[in-house]
Copies of this chain bind each other. A is one copy, B any other.
């Protein structure tokens, strides 16, 4: 049995949960509080980060590496396109969402807003860095515009078929949506694309997420938001 070690609001972990769901690969999900540095987890994964997938005796880590690993399994459902130029385009967008957008947006918005809640008194006093949050929200609007433009001309973001590019974008947006920070009115086409992907069966486990002490915003699980 596969076991995915993850954190609820990590966009990279959400993407792997979506990918495993789309590919209909069974797995057990284990919430891992990485800051506790649990010895049993570090014994499996010395790097100590999530997402981390144990597949039989093989441990796989890395937000980019796990998708490549899953694509090389014997599984009929592919999330990379089968032709070279389309695959390169899907990888380019996947990298852009998973590395650049996650750095620019998630680190600014999620970490600045969430960490002070769980931090010590000194950190709480400092409060969130509003300039970082504003820069993150600017980058978020640019990401929504890119998604809108792509989904106006293609069925899914990288071409005809759903790919890891869609999953990376949706994973990041769903983490932000949990805390209520996605300005959906900013781009109607991006919202429509998100409604479609949010309605897929693979999304259901994410929509059931509820962090103790930090419930999702009201529309988080609503398919018609």
Give the interface of A toward B (CB within 8 A): 47, 58, 60-65, 68-69, 72, 84-85, 87-88, 91-92, 94-96, 99, 103
Report chain B residues within 8 Å CB of A85: 58
Determine the residue in chain B with the shortest Cβ distance to A85. Answer: B58
Complex alpha-carbon distance, A62 and B95, angstroms: 7
Q: Can you list 24 A-B contacts with CB-CB less than 8 angstroms, sorted by A residue number?
A: A47-B96, A58-B85, A60-B88, A61-B92, A62-B91, A62-B92, A62-B95, A62-B96, A63-B95, A63-B99, A64-B64, A64-B91, A65-B88, A65-B91, A65-B92, A65-B94, A65-B95, A68-B88, A68-B91, A69-B88, A69-B91, A72-B84, A72-B87, A99-B99
Report chain B residues within 8 Å CB of A87: 72
Known: A62-B95, A65-B92, A68-B91. 13 other contacts (CB 8 A): A47-B96, A58-B85, A58-B88, A60-B92, A64-B64, A65-B91, A65-B94, A68-B88, A69-B88, A69-B91, A72-B84, A72-B87, A103-B103
Shortest beta-carbon contacts, A-B, top 6:
A62-B95, A65-B91, A65-B92, A64-B95, A62-B92, A65-B95
Question: Which residue of A64, A69, A84 has the most chain B CB atoms within 10 A of its CB atom?
Answer: A64
Determine the residue in chain B with the shortest Cβ distance to A91. Answer: B65
Report chain B residues within 8 Å CB of A84: 72
